[in-house]
Structure 1
Amino acid sequence: MAPPRREVKRSGSIVPCFLFVELGILGGTAALAYQLEFTDAFPVHDGGFFCRDPAYGRPYPGPPGSSRAPPALVYGLVTTVPVLTIVVGELLGRLGGARGGRDPTILWGECCYLGAPLRRLLRFLGVFSFGLLATAIFANAGQVVTGAPAPHFLAVCRPNYSALGCAPRAGDAPPHFVPPGGAPCNGDPPSVAAARRAFPCKEAALGAYAGAYAGLYVTLAWRGGGSRLAKPAAVLGFAAPPFLLGALRVAEHRNHWGDVLAGFLTGTGIAAFLVTCVVGNFQSGGGSGRGGQGGTPKGPPRAAAPPAPSGGDQRHPGASSRPPRRHLNVLSPGGTPKTGGSPKLGGIPKVEGGHTRILYGGPDGALIEPFIKPLQSH
């Protein structure tokens, strides 16, 4: 049996909307993320620090490129792994005939057909890209606003304690606080500014977002087949690298545990919001469900009610289809009704003198137009 042909709808606004609205929003988000990351358009907040604070007195771990998880590796993985996961999943679903649901094919102009699988893939990848940039914006904005120092801040700042009045503590005296402003640090200014951007951890936020997005895609869109452990194994595989990345950031004295946890919450929250509220749990717009095989499970179809007979009583759906009995009402000359049984149609009941009025019941329960039959007088 040949598969049913997919519905084709014309749309003259889908391509302009994609080019001027969707790409415009994505470009503006990328520009804002670039300004927060690589320029001084938004200066980092200077909140001061305490002299010889042990929370910020860890040794300097070196530049970011010397880490065991350098930024280039982190940014490459959080970008390529979810994209490859979505592309492979959509291709496999397309080959299996389980993608697109009942979404129609969009015809733009007279030449361009945009099928449901292609629009589904572009939608998932576009939303992922937007969320990745939004996560970077949230993390960078939090770092710029709070200006929380990293664990190795004092090693990079190299303050002159004598000039700042940071005398050694005597007994239980509180540590001396160095207020913001001035030039308390003698270290490299770019390194000092980078050491003030620890909360939340941007690497942890990006890793959590990518892992959560890919894990939710596998859980909600992939078909497990006959294996019950394929999906859990894949989801744990996506969740493990962000956790290890956060632990590595703490072990190398680049972030505190609070910074890493805040990054995890930021990335996971953005991924959950986009998946549930924007892409509809990776389901097709036409109502297709998990794996493209229908959304909410439906029960067995109800048996169709037998059609009511044309001549039956329509007031009671469960009434019998047997034709109603015909009743004979006889009115004597005195007006007293007499009811007979079910005489044969056309039979003349026995009456005494005068005129007799006979009413016959029709097959639909209505009364046939009565007639008056005169009787011959004997």
Structure 2
Amino acid sequence: MLYFQLVIMAGTVMLAYYFEYTDTFNVHVQGFFCYDNAYTKPYHGPEASSAVPPVILYAVVCGLPLLLITAIESVLFLLQYVSEDLDNREKIIVMGDCCYLNPLVRRTFRFLGVYAFGLFSTDIFVNAGQVVTGNLSPHFLTVCKPNYTALGCIQTARFINEKGVCTGNEDDIMRARKSFPSKEAALSVYAALYTAMYITLTVKAKGTKLAKPVLSLGLICLAFLTGINRVVEYRNHWCDVIAGFIIGGAIAVFMVLGVVQNFKGKTLLNEIPPEERVVGSVPMMGQPRIMDNTMEKYIASQFIEIASRAVRDTVAPWDPKA
């Protein structure tokens, strides 16, 4: 099952790579009217000159959830390990005869793995929408620089749907044809909502009733400001940003509710199918072993009681009448 999940993850990453860095999928060439005011906004330079450049955005989207989830899981694991409530501790899973998975590592890898899968899925959904629609950005005509005289737009505002009518930079023109939905808005709201839901559902410590909402709403506010910045700099329309928010938010909610199930990471014995339960000192090859401290104590006490009875019977005095 683990190998199958790795294959799915690798396929998702490869598909996101082909969308992002190759010309495998051709962008739909959408037409426009001459002198259309919706596409004549000023161009504020490449994405690197934006107030929220891609380098900072991707670093925050990838790094902030990684640090928060790892730190919180480490603290929760240490608090649970030193507590006396043994029955509520995470069960330890041993795969086969060699592999040991610590509960901290297992939970952290699960939550971060699901987050990474959702992040790449969001990128795929957004890129697919941009390729299919080919929606023009507000500054499209500014970077396109069409020859209106040659196109016959002097007297009538005719509709232009031909290829090769732009005379500007090809890279800028291609980026200006991929406006709907906004990738920056989708990725930022996905990261913010997933992290906010993780903090809200996982942290149960006393005194955090106000800290959790403040931190969660702060993350969502940063995502909201990222979308507003896209509109202010005329890189996306309002509808592009709203669509990005909807896509990123929907995928984050699905990952939390449907995949990680509100970040419930405990593996209880009664949740495992009977055919997969192995309780003993030596697990069968290829089957997981569930080690429960309470059950082990009970088995050890029964073994000690049987051994003590055998010793008493052995050293008992000889009865000649027997």
- TM-score (normalizing by structure 1): 0.67
**Aligned letter for 1:64?**
E
Pick the aligned partner of 1:146 from 117, 130, 133.
Answer: 133
Deviations 1:126-173 (A, max 9, x none): 00000000000111110000000000000111001111111245xxxx
Give the conservation status (yes or no) of the 8 Å contact 2:91–2:268. no
Q: 1 or 2, which has the higher helix percentage?
A: 2
Partner in structure 2 of residue 176 of structure 1: 158
Task: Assess, with a 3 A threshold, how the Cα gap between structure 1 residues 287 and 243 changes in structure 2: closer, same or farther.
Answer: farther
Partner in structure 1 of residue 222 of structure 2: 241
**Aligned letter for 1:176?**
R
Unaligned runs of 5+ in 1: 1-16, 170-174, 289-378
Give the alignment's Cα RMSD to 1 decimal: 1.8
Q: Distance in 2 between matches of 1:135 and 1:200?
A: 11
Deviations 1:300-323 (A, max 9, x none): xxxxxxxxxxxxxxxxxxxxxxxx
Pick the aligned partner of 2:206 from 225, 234, 259.
Answer: 225
Q: Distance in 2 between matches of 1:270 and 1:279?
A: 13
Partner in structure 2 of residue 117 of structure 1: 104
Q: Report how many aligned residue pairs link the two structures.
A: 265
Aligned residue runs from structure 1 range 297-376, under 5 A: none
Q: Distance in 2 between matches of 1:33 and 1:218?
A: 28
**Aligned letter for 2:18?**
Q
Aligned residue runs from structure 1 range 42-61, under 5 A: 42-61=25-44
Q: Distance in 1 between matches of 2:254 and 2:266?
A: 18
Partner in structure 1 of residue 278 of structure 2: none
Partner in structure 1 of residue 20 of structure 2: 37
In terms of Rg, which structure is larger?
1
Pick the aligned partner of 1:266 from 243, 247, 255.
Answer: 247
Partner in structure 2 of residue 172 of structure 1: none
Q: Distance in 2 between matches of 1:259 and 1:224?
A: 39
Pick the aligned partner of 2:167 from 179, 186, 189.
Answer: 186
For residue 201 of structure 1, report the CA deviation from its aligned partner. 0.3
Give the conservation status (yes or no) of the 8 Å contact 1:101–1:284. no
Give the conservation status (yes or no) of the 8 Å contact 1:101–1:287. no
For residue 224 of structure 1, report the CA deviation from its aligned partner. 3.7
For residue 66 of structure 1, report the CA deviation from its aligned partner. 0.8
Partner in structure 1 of residue 285 of structure 2: none
Q: Distance in 1 between matches of 2:196 and 2:155?
A: 52
Aligned residue runs from structure 1 range 205-224, under 5 A: 205-224=186-205
Deviations 1:216-262 (A, max 9, x none): 00010112412420110111111111111111111111111111111
For residue 101 of structure 1, report the CA deviation from its aligned partner. 4.7
**Aligned letter for 1:256?**
H
Identity %: 47
Unaligned runs of 5+ in 2: 270-322
Higher relative contact order (CA 8 A, sep 6+): 2
Q: Distance in 1 between matches of 2:256 and 2:208?
A: 24
- TM-score (normalizing by structure 2): 0.79
Deviations 1:281-333 (A, max 9, x none): 00124369xxxxxxxxxxxxxxxxxxxxxxxxxxxxxxxxxxxxxxxxxxxxx
